[in-house]
């Protein structure tokens, strides 16, 4: 199974997820989310596969999100505007992102990771 893992090395949750993947011997293509953020097209595909609403893709606890005052802005924005915003800066995206052929997970919950691996 080919798995892509977007992460930010300074993020504690990302490091935990990466360690979990290593402990479970999951081979991943690790991509630094700030240096190589997903494109608008990729994000659209990921959020549709994830089943989440697009607003859930924002890293709402991030400094950048708060500095830009996005809490109110994203309420009325179109899908296109939200995708544009997310693809403009990897720090705005909820991380880590784990992508397999069938599933896309945003954030890290061990149970979700286990379920995803058991399906493949």
DSSP of 29-98: EEEETTTSPPPHHHHHHHHHHHT--GGGGB-TTSHHHHHTTHHHHHHH--HHHHHHHHHH-GGGB-S-EE
pTM, to two decimals: 0.93
CATH code of 3-119, in short, is 3.40.30.10
What pLDDT, in 10s, does the model give residues 67-101?
999 998 999 999 999 999 999 999 999 999 999 98
Domain ranges of the chain: 3-119
DSSP of 82-105: HHHHHHH-GGGB-S-EEE-SS-EE
């Amino acid at each position: 199974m080919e798995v892509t893992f977007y992460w930010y090395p300074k993020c504690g949750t990302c490091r935990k997820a990466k360690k979990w993947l290593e402990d479970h011997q999951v081979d991943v293509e690790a991509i630094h989310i700030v240096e190589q953020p997903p494109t608008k097209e990729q994000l659209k595909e990921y959020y549709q596969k994830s089943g989440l609403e697009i607003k859930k893709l924002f890293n709402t606890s991030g400094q950048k999100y708060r500095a830009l005052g996005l809490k109110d802005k994203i309420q009325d924005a179109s899908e296109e505007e939200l995708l544009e915003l997310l693809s403009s800066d990897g720090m705005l995206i909820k991380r880590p992102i784990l992508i397999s052929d069938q599933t896309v997970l945003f954030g890290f919950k061990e149970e979700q990771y286990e379920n995803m691996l058991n399906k493949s």
